[in-house]
Structure 1
């Protein structure tokens, strides 16, 4: 069975890469086909169909940029995914996050959301944990959610903290339904905001 392309799930980045490249190929194939048919029928390239085909390549070229961007990243380690799944209990988890900013991108393998806690782990050496924390805290604060964001680089310490969160009761945080996300719990809204700023 084919898995849906859904942000925050295990295997998302690998599926995203394939999807973006397929879309790029299709979007570039159509204007090329239009050009070739126009050339075969009119026996010349100097025609309005050529202009249409060239302009028609622009969306495909934009899609190639998305595919190249997605190709820079890969899905997380399966063993880590299994360890987090076993440790998290019923806490909400987001996997394979690439948070984009104007200056840098932050790769965070997994995030656990529980009450005011947003606990992430990054195996990517280039990811600056403190800068990622600041970025996510700022984005959540701009959306009126004050969270304790912590991005960890030590895998064992992260798994230990996840188990601690799963074994305790989540902090009760006053919450009024967000009109942007009707019917969602507070943790689901936090998840929605984080997914919206992720690749």
Structure 2
């Protein structure tokens, strides 16, 4: 009987938020085990907290606290609706597309349900009313320009508008990609320009 291999969910895949929420709980618990073990060992041996064991435990808690913050940040995010994902999949065709990205900036984090790239166009959709689309558009554009990609960015609030743009981009993809010069990175020679742009977007996402 053949065994089916479960696909690993990566950043940009639908289901990423739920997967990361589970993983970050585990990482946080594991990160706190060592300092707590050191602390209680010192307490048991010396019958007091005023020992070097406590100092070591406190220092060891610092990376664990970072894991805890990352976990909290991920739990503040609500996964995208599955019906929205299925609707987008009907219209993405062969476009480079990503889902459930939490775009991170110094000022704030912004949830974007989906992003797609074609030529010098980056389009996205967010279902969150609180998302400042103008801020997200500018932040993405600035980050991509810093990496040598001069693109236009548009984030839609209505799913039909986003799927219509996907259809238009797919229909006119040859014209949108025409005359764009791209030299593959020797480190990632198989990546297309659109995939390289998406890699930058992954890098600025939680």
Q: TM-score when scaled to structure 1? A: 0.92
For residues 77-116 of structure 1, the aligned pairs below 5 Å read: 77-116=81-120
Aligned mates of 1:10, 1:145 — CA distance in 2: 25
**Alignment correspondent of 1:169:** 173
| Counterpart position of 2:148 | 144
1:175-186 matches, within 5 Å, as 175-179=182-186, 181-186=188-193
Where do 4+ consecutive residues of structure 1 move more than 6 Å? none
Matched, 1:196 2:203: yes
Unaligned runs of 5+ in 2: none
Find the aligned partners of 1:148 and 1:180 in 2 and give their Cα distance. 26
Q: Which of residues 194, 202, 205 in structure 2 aligns to 1:187?
A: 194
Q: Using the alignment, how far apart are the partners of 1:101 and 1:44 within structure 2?
A: 44
Within the alignment, does 1:34 sit opposite 2:38 as a pair? yes
- For residue 13 of structure 2, give the secondary structure of its aligned residue in structure 1: coil
Q: Which residue of 1 aligns with 2:50?
A: 46
Long gaps (5+) in structure 1: none
Counterparts of 2:136 and 2:51, CA distance in 1: 52
Q: CA offset at residue 120 of structure 1?
A: 0.3
> Per the alignment, do residues 169 and 46 of structure 1 end up closer, same or farther by CA in structure 2, a change over 3 Å counting?
closer
Cα offset, 1:105, TM superposition: 2.0
Structure 2 SS opposite 1:188: helix
